[in-house]
Amino acid sequence: MSLLRAAVALTGAVLALVLQTTFFSHLSWSGVVPNLCLLLVVGVALVRGSEFAMVLGFVAGLLLDLAPPADHLAGRWALALVVVGYVAGRVRQDVRPTAVSVVATVAACSFVGTSVFALTGLVLRDPVLGVGELLQVIGIALVWDVLLTPFVLPLVMGAFRRLQPDRVPA
């Protein structure tokens, strides 16, 4: 991992967190905002692979867990975004990212990531909502993330494609 790539990823995570907690908090739908950190992790995974995305997912998740409006046990978003980085990175190995595959990957990762977050809350006895309400939140989060995919993912994927790729001299 190059220092430049790490700096861009960290800057992206902080920017996503700030936008998610400030700007998008005013546009919440039933109290649910789009998860820009999740979209960042998916975009990076589709370009750089699962290893880099899992590290970024841990960092971005930890930032989400420790951000001031957080009302849950720390580590839940970190775990969820590590799983998202792994899943999206595995998709990268199987398919070349097309518009349809990117949207499908975001939908799957949004469902998986939000579900992992919700299930860890149930396991750790940190639920704020019942199971029925958690399912509603998962559905709304999925819709939000898919709606923002055409605006966020091209920027993220383009930025990480422009960075120096890992190449082995021939």
Q: In Å, how far from its chain's centre is CA 139?
A: 16
Query: Per-residue pLDDT averaged across 51-68, rounded?
Result: 93
- The yes-or-no verdict on residue 170 having pLDDT over 50 is no
Closest CA to 35 of 61, 72, 66: 61
Running DSSP on this structure, what letter comes out for residue 75? T
What are the chain's domains? 3-162 (1.10.1760)
- The yes-or-no verdict on residue 111 having pLDDT over 70 is yes
Res 16: pLDDT: 92
Instruction: Give the tens place of pLDDT for each residue, 73-92.
Output: 888 999 999 999 999 999 87
Separation between Cα atoms, residue 159 and residue 128, nearest integer Å: 37
CB atoms within 10 A of CB 97: 16
Q: How far apart are the first and last CA of the chain?
A: 20
Give me 137's structure tokens. Answer: 């939140």
Query: Per-residue pLDDT averaged across 133-144, rounded?
Result: 89
- The yes-or-no verdict on residue 106 having pLDDT over 70 is yes
Q: Range with the lowest mean pLDDT among 18-27, 65-74, 100-109? A: 65-74
Res 145: pLDDT: 94
Query: Per-residue pLDDT averaged across 86-111, rounded?
Result: 89
Query: Per-residue pLDDT averaged across 12-37, rounded?
Result: 89
Query: Per-residue pLDDT averaged across 28-56, rounded?
Result: 91
pLDDT mean across residues, the chain: 88
Res 32: pLDDT: 85
pTM score, two decimals? Answer: 0.89
